């Protein structure tokens, strides 16, 4: 495939003979090419700046509505106040319990998710045979495709119930329930990124270690995992970002009492997170009131926490990257070699009472247990929804508008609305995202500006979806006066998936070997010609995968659209971009929380949403598999 491209470039460029005959034309052609290069470069540069601009806009608009609360009650009282009681006789706006709640829920979620994810990642990368791998890897990735409102739905109906009965508590809505749910949601992210990192550790390290007589577990622990450390750290941080920013699932299971657990380790205490506060109170709050400003203040704090986590992550990854992966892995490798030679370390050999094979058996048992738990979680959620939802699916359900508050009729306008929202979001994000990625990879060296753009993209990536929703509401719906409309939702969702598209495009551009570009330049092709004809075509599958993953995310999100784009019900399909639409995740949220006696429709909607998002993910996985096979050949 690569040879073919090089050949195509070659044939596309005038050869020697042409050069001689058309001598006077060449400078013109060159100048034209340079001009194109210049213009395209500038254009891409401007588009790339958008990412920074968006970040400033988001911060600006949140601050615009949030700073009054600090003026009114003081920064210290806001951040360290113990009471969140905005509607009380003497309103108080202390958000310390909310901050603590967010941190506690996230911390415990990570404590559950990281070991399970590591076990699954290690299993997929190092232990599973190719057949098993082909099943488990996509299965875990499908977990990432389940919309968060579906998790919330599952958590509200089953998880809190199990916790209440199992631990004999008066109520199951608790810190623990929130953390378990967030852990399940973070596991796919952590697992797939960590697995990528493990798989990219060079094969010869493993072979060297095994050749020296190390067991597979010793190889994994001392050679492979240390070698993949930077990727694993990134994975954990990404998962943490998802956990901190999650709204819809968390608010359905934590009980939302604004208290700090007593004692602080009481995992059965109800807690309230920053995102949950925004999710449940934003819709009803009186505009311009102190409470309204306080909620924007909460959004700013949430953004700052995300920023801090991201900053920390960048710092850690940077530190780890200071020592290049290869040398670090080989350092670890050398050390493991030392450890394996009993003569050089007789002291350790004597102390070793447990045989390494026993350790290995034990470790593998734990790892398998982790994988089983993860797969069981997936299975339970899917089964519950499929079994209960299958009965609701009928032709009418799929093609009719809802009636009687969604208790009867179908969900056709919601299906179409979701498709419109997703198509619009892609139309917004795809051109901007790809242009930004091309600029970052192809046009610039590592300057302060590109670092700024990258930081902005990272920040956007970590920005909670509810913050996008608030921004869309404050900026698009109110400030630009779009009203609650299709276009406001499309732009909001587009901004939300922008970082994913930039990231995946960057990754796939980076994976194109430098030699291809150099070959193209050597043949006299201009920069833009090289990008358009040599770099982009092989990068396309990667870009498509990224786009498809974003579709899945956009289709399943509730928080960004609930203040910007959706209506409860509509008999007609929208006829212009300025009309609001129905959407599946919001419809499910409303059926679950506000319409009694719609159990059938509820499960049916959950099933349709799940199937829609999962089939999109399945396409992504298939595209990638095809692509992988192609490169192997």
Partner 1 sequence: MTGKRLSGVTAVALAGILMVVLMAAGCLGSQPSGSPASPSQQITVTGSTTVLPIAEKARETFEDRYPSTSVLVSGGGSSVGVRAVGEGTADIGMSSRDLKPEETGMYPGLVLHHIADDAILLIVHPENSIESLTLDQVRGIYNGTYTNWNQVGGPDLEIVVIGRDSASGTREFFGEYVMKKEDFIRSQEEFNSNGGIQQKVSRTPGAIGYVGLGYTEGVKQLNIEVDGNTIEPTLENINSKKYPITRPLYMLTNGEPEGAVKEFLEFIMSEEGQQIVASVDYIPLQG
Give, as ranges, the residues between 535 and 564 that touch partner 1 (CB under 8 A): 536-537, 540, 544, 562-563
| CA pseudo-torsion sign 298, 105, 459, 617 | negative
Q: How far is the CB of 557 from partner 1 (least distance, A)?
A: 17
Binding status of residue 263 toward partner 1 by CB under 8 A: no
Binding status of residue 160 toward partner 1 by CB under 8 A: yes
What CA–CA distance (Å, rounded) separates 528 from 551?
28
Nearer to partner 1 among residue 15 and residue 130 (C-beta): 15
Q: Which residues between 573 and 612 bind partner 1 (CB under 8 A)?
A: 573, 575, 579-580, 590, 592-597
What CA–CA distance (Å, rounded) separates 361 from 354?
11
Q: Where does 259-418 show beta strands of DSSP type E?
A: 402-403, 408-409
Binding status of residue 239 toward partner 1 by CB under 8 A: no
Q: Which residues between 290 and 349 bind partner 1 (CB under 8 A)?
A: 291-292
Nearer to partner 1 among residue 332 and residue 536 (C-beta): 536
| CA pseudo-torsion sign 148, 151, 153, 155 | negative
Alpha helices in 439-556 (DSSP H): 448-462, 465-471, 486-510, 514-522, 527-529, 536-556
Nearer to partner 1 among residue 43 and residue 349 (C-beta): 43
Closest CA to 84 of 301, 304, 287, 272: 272
Binding status of residue 481 toward partner 1 by CB under 8 A: yes
Q: How far is the CB of 364 from partner 1 (least distance, A)?
A: 39
The enclosing H or E element of 98 equals helix 96-122
Q: How far is the CB of 172 from partner 1 (least distance, A)?
A: 7
Q: In the 8-state DSSP scheme, what is residue 22?
A: T
Binding status of residue 394 toward partner 1 by CB under 8 A: no
Binding status of residue 265 toward partner 1 by CB under 8 A: no
CA distances to 47, 123, 407 from 393, in Å:
44, 37, 13
Q: How far is the CB of 39 from partner 1 (least distance, A)?
A: 18
Q: In the 8-state DSSP scheme, what is residue 128?
A: S
Q: Which residues neighbour 196 within 8 Å (Cβ) at sequence distance 6 or greater?
A: 231
Q: Which residues between 64 and 83 bind partner 1 (CB under 8 A)?
A: 83
What CA–CA distance (Å, rounded) separates 626 from 172?
45
Binding status of residue 288 toward partner 1 by CB under 8 A: yes
Helix axes 448-462, 229-245, angle to 10 degrees: 50
Stretch that binds partner 1, among 122-130, 143-151, 247-255, 328-336 (CB under 8 A): 247-255
What CA–CA distance (Å, rounded) separates 321 from 328?
9
Binding status of residue 283 toward partner 1 by CB under 8 A: yes
Q: How far is the CB of 60 from partner 1 (least distance, A)?
A: 21
Q: In the 8-state DSSP scheme, what is residue 566?
A: B
Q: How far is the CB of 203 from partner 1 (least distance, A)?
A: 32
Binding status of residue 405 toward partner 1 by CB under 8 A: yes
Write down the residue that tokens 């070793």 correspond to. 352
96 dihedral zone (left: phi>0; alpha: psi -120 to 50; beta): alpha
Max Cα–Cα distance, the chain, nearest Å? 90
CA distances to 391, 534, 602, 632 from 386, in Å:
9, 45, 12, 37
Binding status of residue 5 toward partner 1 by CB under 8 A: yes
Binding status of residue 496 toward partner 1 by CB under 8 A: no
Nearer to partner 1 among residue 336 and residue 485 (C-beta): 485
Nearer to partner 1 among residue 254 and residue 306 (C-beta): 254
Q: How far is the CB of 211 from partner 1 (least distance, A)?
A: 44
Binding status of residue 571 toward partner 1 by CB under 8 A: yes
Among 255, 464, 469, 560, which residue sits at the site for partner 1 (rule: CB under 8 A)?
Answer: 255
Among 44, 214, 249, 251, which residue sits at the site for partner 1 (rule: CB under 8 A)?
Answer: 251
Number of residues in contact with partner 1 under rule CB under 8 A: 87
Among 210, 257, 316, 337, which residue sits at the site for partner 1 (rule: CB under 8 A)?
Answer: 257
Q: How far is the CB of 74 from partner 1 (least distance, A)?
A: 21
Integer-rounded Cα Rg, in Å, for the chain is: 27
Write down the residue that tokens 């960048």 correspond to. 314
Stretch that binds partner 1, among 189-197, 209-217, 254-262, 606-614 (CB under 8 A): 254-262
Among 102, 275, 465, 570, which residue sits at the site for partner 1 (rule: CB under 8 A)?
Answer: 570
Q: Which residues between 85 and 144 bind partner 1 (CB under 8 A)?
A: 85-89
Q: How far is the CB of 37 from partner 1 (least distance, A)?
A: 16
Among 78, 412, 439, 443, which residue sits at the site for partner 1 (rule: CB under 8 A)?
Answer: 412
CA distances to 69, 107, 185, 263 from 253, in Å:
29, 17, 14, 20
**Token digits of residue 139:** 């299965």
Q: Which residues between 511 and 540 bind partner 1 (CB under 8 A)?
A: 532-534, 536-537, 540
Binding status of residue 483 toward partner 1 by CB under 8 A: yes
Q: Cβ distance 214 to 275 under 8 Å? A: no
Q: How far is the CB of 631 from partner 1 (least distance, A)?
A: 16
Among 132, 404, 511, 631, which residue sits at the site for partner 1 (rule: CB under 8 A)?
Answer: 404
Q: Is the peptide bond before 536 cis (omega within 30 degrees of 0)?
A: no
């Amino acid at each position: 495939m690569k040879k073919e491209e090089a050949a195509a470039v070659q044939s596309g460029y005038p050869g020697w003979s042409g050069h001689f005959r058309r001598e006077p034309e060449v400078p013109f052609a060159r100048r034209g090419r340079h001009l194109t290069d210049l213009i395209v470069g500038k254009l891409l540069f401007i588009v790339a700046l958008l990412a920074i601009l968006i970040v400033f806009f988001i911060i600006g608009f949140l601050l615009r509505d949030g700073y009054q609360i600090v003026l009114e009650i003081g920064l210290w009282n806001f951040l360290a106040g113990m009471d969140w009681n905005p509607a009380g006789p003497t309103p108080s706006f202390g958000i310390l319990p909310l901050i603590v709640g967010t941190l506690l829920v996230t911390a415990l979620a990570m404590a559950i998710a990281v070991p399970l994810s590591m076990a699954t990642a290690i299993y997929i990368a190092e232990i599973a045979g190719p057949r098993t791998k082909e099943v488990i890897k996509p299965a875990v990735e499908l977990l990432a495709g389940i919309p968060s409102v579906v998790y919330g739905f599952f958590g509200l109906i089953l998880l809190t119930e199990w916790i209440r009965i199992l631990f004999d508590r008066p109520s199951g809505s608790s810190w623990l329930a929130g953390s378990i749910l967030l852990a399940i949601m973070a596991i796919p992210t952590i697992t797939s990124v960590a697995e990528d990192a493990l798989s990219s550790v060079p094969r010869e390290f493993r072979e060297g270690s095994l050749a020296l007589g190390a067991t597979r577990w010793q190889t994994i622990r001392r050679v492979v995992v240390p070698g993949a450390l930077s990727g694993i750290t990134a994975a954990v941080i990404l998962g943490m970002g998802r956990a901190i920013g999650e709204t819809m699932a968390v608010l359905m299971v934590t009980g939302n009492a604004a208290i700090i657990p007593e004692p602080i380790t009481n995992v059965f205490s109800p807690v309230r997170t920053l995102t949950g506060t925004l999710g449940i109170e934003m819709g009803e709050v009186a505009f311009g009131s102190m409470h309204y400003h306080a909620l924007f203040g909460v959004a700013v704090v949430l953004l700052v926490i995300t920023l801090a986590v991201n900053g920390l992550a960048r710092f850690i990854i940077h530190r780890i990257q200071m020592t290049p992966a290869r040398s670090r892995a080989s350092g670890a490798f050398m050390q493991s070699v030392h450890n394996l030679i009993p003569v050089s370390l007789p002291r350790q050999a004597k102390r070793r009472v447990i045989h390494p094979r026993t350790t290995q058996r034990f470790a593998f048992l734990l790892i398998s247990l982790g994988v089983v738990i993860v797969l069981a979680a997936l299975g339970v959620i899917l089964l519950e929804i499929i079994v209960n939802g299958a009965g609701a699916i009928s032709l009418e359900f799929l093609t009719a508008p809802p009636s009687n508050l969604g208790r009867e009729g179908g969900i056709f306008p919601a299906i179409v609305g979701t498709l419109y929202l997703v198509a619009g979001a892609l139309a917004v994000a795809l051109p901007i995202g790809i242009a930004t990625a091309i600029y970052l990879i192809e046009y610039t060296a590592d300057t302060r500006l590109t670092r700024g753009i990258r930081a902005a993209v990272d920040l956007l990536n970590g920005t909670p979806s509810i913050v996008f929703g608030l921004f869309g509401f404050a900026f698009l719906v109110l400030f630009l006066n779009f009203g609650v409309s299709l276009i406001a939702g499309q732009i909001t969702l587009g901004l939300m998936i922008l970082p994913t598209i930039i990231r995946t495009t960057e990754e796939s551009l980076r994976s194109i070997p430098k030699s291809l570009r150099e070959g193209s330049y050597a043949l006299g092709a201009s920069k833009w010609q090289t990008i358009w004809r040599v770099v982009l075509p092989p990068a396309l599958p990667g870009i498509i995968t990224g786009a498809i993953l974003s579709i899945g995310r956009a289709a399943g999100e509730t928080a960004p659209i609930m203040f910007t784009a959706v209506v409860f019900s509509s008999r007609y399909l929208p006829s212009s971009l300025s009309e609001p639409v129905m959407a599946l995740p919001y419809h499910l949220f409303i059926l679950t929380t506000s319409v009694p006696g719609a159990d059938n429709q509820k499960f049916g909607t959950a099933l349709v949403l799940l199937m829609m998002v999962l089939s999109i993910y399945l396409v992504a996985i298939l595209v990638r598999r095809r692509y992988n096979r192609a490169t192997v050949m």
